[in-house]
Amino acid sequence: MPGFELFGDQERKEVNDVLDNGVLMRYGFDPMRKGHWKAKSLEQELQNTLQTKYVQLVSSGTAAVSVALASAGVGAGDEVIMPTFTFVASFEAIMMLGAIPVLVDIDDTLGLDPKAVAEAITPKTKAVMVVQMCGSMGHMDALKAICTQHNLLLIEDACQAIGGTYQGKPLGSIGDLGCFSFDFVKTITCGEGGAVVTDNENWYLNADHYSDHGHDHIGNDRGAESHPFLGYNFRISELHAAVGLAQVKRLPEFLDIQRKHFNIIREALSEIPEVTFRTVPEGGVESCAFLNFFLPDVSTAEKVMIAFKDHGIDACWNYYKNNWHYIRKWEHFKELKSLYPISEEVKKGLEYLQTKTFEQSDHYIGRNISCLIKLSWTEEEVRRRADKMASSIKSLL
């Protein structure tokens, strides 16, 4: 991760096909296409890769979350439970629909704590959104059981986890709807892009229509298509889909590289007694896009991050003070800094942010270091990096 590190002839061929026919839009212009339908082809490849019945490509991972929620009927005033550790897109996508993000604690999986989820459910709760951060998963069986018991949607944000599996099923295909991102820094990149996946035909059709201004896509004349309901523009372009089509065919290659590099670094750090690793539920297999480990306390984690920087070890983060991925620094969210008025219902629903604390999440995120696993490293570079990381940590313990 990310896939752009290994761009090559496959990506160039797919993009040149689009430039050759000149049709950059995924819909219409049939006579000009010379048989090339990159978005449709990518959707088919993803159906096979993700073992799901339906895939709808959209313009981004953020769009995927909003489209998934809307397709299943989540909207104004509904509460969506989500984790404190994610990307800002998670609450943005919920709020765009007029729904209310309800943040709850994570556990040592770095995913939603099932107990915290159960305690947060109210009569307004419509969905639980798990976020498979950094290539791994939470306790999916427990979370699914809670959703079944309370008749809630299970939305799976697997934007950072393509290639990971749980009990043999691809992450993203386990919930009622799954969401993926193919932005520039993902394992599979389109530059910008995303996907909604589901086995539910009605939700798929809703996503198909909703992401293209409500078009029903029936017939061969776009101008004559009906609009069963309101929609918006979350379309992906053929150029973006072309890059993704080449990349998804290379996913096994990318995953093999990630796992090899991941295991080399993990093995080196495993020799340090004070280093522990995130919990991966039984039956789970990480995508190995990131290696996440814990140090004894926040202070040690901060010192290790400084030591990494001093030794030229890049692409590692401690999210405790990060303003993109963890609740502590989301001031624009807590203070509702918006360009346009936010509904009173949402304002009231988010009042809890003024007093709510997340000590359990702090306990895990404060001690966590997350390291990106690059595809472009040589084995020699990885081993040298692993040695530097281990020696830096040992020098501080």
DSSP state of 106: B
Residues 152 and 126 in one domain: yes
Residues 258 and 236 in one domain: no
pLDDT at 194: 98
What are the tens digits of pLDDT across the range 78-106? 999 999 999 999 999 999 999 999 999 99
Note whether 126 and 150 are within 8 A (CB).
Answer: no
Distance from C-alpha of 154 to C-alpha of 167, rounded to nearest angstrom: 17
Closest CA to 155 of 176, 132, 136: 176
Q: State whether the Cα torsion 24-27-32-38 is positive or negative.
A: positive
What count of other Cβ atoms lies within 10 Å of the Cβ of residue 80? 26
Question: Helix or strand or coil: residue 340?
Answer: coil
Closest CA to 192 of 131, 244, 247, 255: 244
Residues 244 and 267 in one domain: no
Number of domains observed in the structure of the chain: 2
Residues 257 and 240 in one domain: no
Where in the sequence is the domain holding 118, given as residue range(s)? 3-250
Q: What is the CATH number of the domain that holds 109?
A: 3.40.640.10
Residues 100 and 196 in one domain: yes
Q: Which residues pair with 112 in a beta bridge?
A: 106
Note whether 292 and 134 are within 8 A (CB).
Answer: yes
DSSP state of 173: S
- Boundary of a domain, candidates 250, 267, 301: 250
- Boundary of a domain, candidates 220, 250, 280: 250
Residues 246 and 256 in one domain: no
Alpha helices in 270-343 (DSSP H): 298-310, 331-334
Per-residue pLDDT of the chain (397 residues; tens, 9 = 90+): 899 999 999 999 999 999 999 999 999 999 999 999 999 999 999 999 999 999 999 999 999 999 999 999 999 999 999 999 999 999 999 999 999 999 999 999 999 999 999 999 999 999 999 999 999 999 999 999 999 999 999 999 999 999 999 999 999 999 999 999 999 999 999 999 999 999 999 999 999 999 999 999 999 899 999 999 999 999 999 999 999 999 999 999 999 999 999 999 999 999 999 999 999 999 999 999 999 999 999 999 999 999 999 999 999 999 999 999 999 999 999 999 999 999 999 999 999 999 999 999 999 999 999 999 999 999 999 999 999 999 999 999 9
Residues 15 and 118 in one domain: yes
- Boundary of a domain, candidates 194, 219, 250: 250
- The beta strand positions in 295-372, using DSSP E, are 316-317, 368-372
Residues 186 and 170 in one domain: yes
Residues 85 and 163 in one domain: yes
- Catalytically active residues, by annotation: 186
Q: What is the CATH number of the domain that holds 351?
A: 3.90.1150.10
